[in-house]
């Protein structure tokens, strides 16, 4: 009886292990994928159960018939019938076995490659719904009971300038007042000529995939002033380096010295007719303040402000 109990326990508590089933995915509709899991599961289930049933049958054949002969004969007949049915992949028992397995305790993983949609004008979150719908022979609706949603976030990209790469303060140092000669003062780190020249970098990243056209402009917002005093005729000059970019349709005024005029915008980069993402980078190699000799001068700490602007163009 111990061997019989063991055979029954083996049948009841079968562990089918983990299996990798390379089954092709079918595109059933725009939003529905289908996989014929039965093709892969059926041989695993039927062969294993057939072996367990055969073990049980062999043990039953060794038992004396005695008073339970009729019962044993009936059980043996049922076991033989099950073994025969499992050998037929189209039998009702085989089909139901796969259906019960899928709906009972089968985890299905379908590797999926997701491509970001092109031309997004704004960020988009796609809800990917997943679950198993068994369609072989059961009329059951599981669409309202899917296992859950997985949200995938698609960024529309952005247009941004790295303002932290621009110098926050230009210090041209302290100088005695004189009116006999023109003067050109360089901006040094900390305002000390013993330090390196103050430099900076223009860096713009445009990761959008929509049609785009924009301009980068710089303007000096006002004259050099110290309270009510005005350093008229003083001019800020900026030495631009070589432009680096992966855009195709653009123009720029790189590799030259530009002269700032108060309240006038100067276009540094002009981008047009492109949808590809990309970047623009241009070094600011030097900042100079030119003060003509005939400029009226008074003691003071003179300041002005530079405004960097990215503006969309038609």
> What does the pLDDT profile of the chain (314 residues) look like in tens digits?
566 666 666 656 666 667 777 777 778 777 677 777 666 777 777 777 777 777 767 776 776 655 455 555 666 666 677 667 666 766 777 666 666 665 455 555 666 677 777 777 788 887 776 655 555 443 333 333 345 566 777 778 899 999 999 999 999 999 999 989 999 999 999 999 999 999 999 999 999 888 899 999 999 999 999 999 999 889 999 999 999 999 999 999 999 999 999 999 999 999 998 999 999 999 999 999 999 998 999 999 999 999 999 998 76
Cα–Cα dist 93/99, whole Å: 10
Give me the residues paired with residue 238 across strands: 258, 287
Task: Please enumerate in sequence order all residues whose Cβ is within 8 A of that of 235, keeping only pairs 6 or more positions apart, or say none.
Answer: 259, 260, 261, 289, 290, 291
| Lookup result for tokens 């013993």 | 194
Q: What's the pLDDT score for residue 305?
A: 96
Instruction: Tell me how far the alpha carbon of residue 212 is from its chain's centroid.
Output: 21
Q: What's the pLDDT score for residue 167?
A: 95
Q: What's the pLDDT score for residue 126?
A: 78
Report DSSP state, residue 231: -
Parse the chain into domains and list their residue ranges.
2-114, 159-312
- Domain 159-312: give its CATH code: 2.60.40
Backbone angles phi, psi at 44, to 5 degrees: -65, -45
Q: What's the pLDDT score for residue 2?
A: 65
């Amino acid at each position: 009886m111990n061997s019989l109990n063991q055979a029954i326990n083996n049948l009841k508590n079968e562990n089918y292990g983990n299996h990798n089933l390379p089954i092709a995915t079918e595109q059933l509709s725009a939003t529905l994928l289908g996989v014929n899991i039965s093709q892969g599961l059926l041989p695993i289930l039927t062969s294993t159960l057939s072996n367990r049933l055969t073990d049980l049958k062999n043990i039953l054949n060794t038992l004396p018939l005695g008073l339970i002969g009729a019962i044993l004969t009936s059980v043996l007949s049922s076991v033989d019938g099950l073994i025969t049915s499992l050998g037929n992949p189209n039998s009702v028992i085989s089909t139901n076995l796969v259906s019960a397995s899928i709906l009972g305790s089968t985890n299905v993983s379908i590797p999926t490659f997701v491509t970001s949609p092109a031309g997004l004008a704004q960020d988009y979150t796609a809800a990917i719904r997943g679950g198993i719908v068994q369609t072989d022979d059961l009329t059951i609706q599981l669409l309202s009971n899917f296992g859950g949603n997985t949200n995938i976030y698609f960024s529309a990209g952005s247009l941004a300038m790295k303002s932290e790469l621009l110098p926050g303060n230009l210090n041209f140092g302290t100088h005695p007042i004189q009116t006999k000669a023109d003067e050109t003062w360089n901006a040094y780190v900390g305002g000390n000529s013993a330090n390196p020249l103050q430099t900076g970098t223009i860096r713009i990243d445009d990761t959008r995939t929509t049609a785009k056209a924009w301009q980068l402009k710089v303007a000096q917002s006002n004259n050099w002033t110290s309270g009510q005093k005005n350093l008229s005729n003083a001019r800020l000059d900026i030495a631009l380096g070589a432009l680096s970019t992966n855009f195709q349709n653009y123009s720029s005024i790189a590799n030259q010295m530009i002269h700032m005029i108060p309240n006038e915008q100067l276009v540094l980069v002009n981008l047009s007719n492109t949808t590809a993402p990309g970047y623009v980078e241009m070094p600011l190699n030097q900042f100079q303040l030119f003060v003509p000799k005939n400029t009226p001068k008074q003691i003071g700490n003179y300041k002005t402000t530079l405004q960097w602007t990215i503006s969309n163009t038609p």
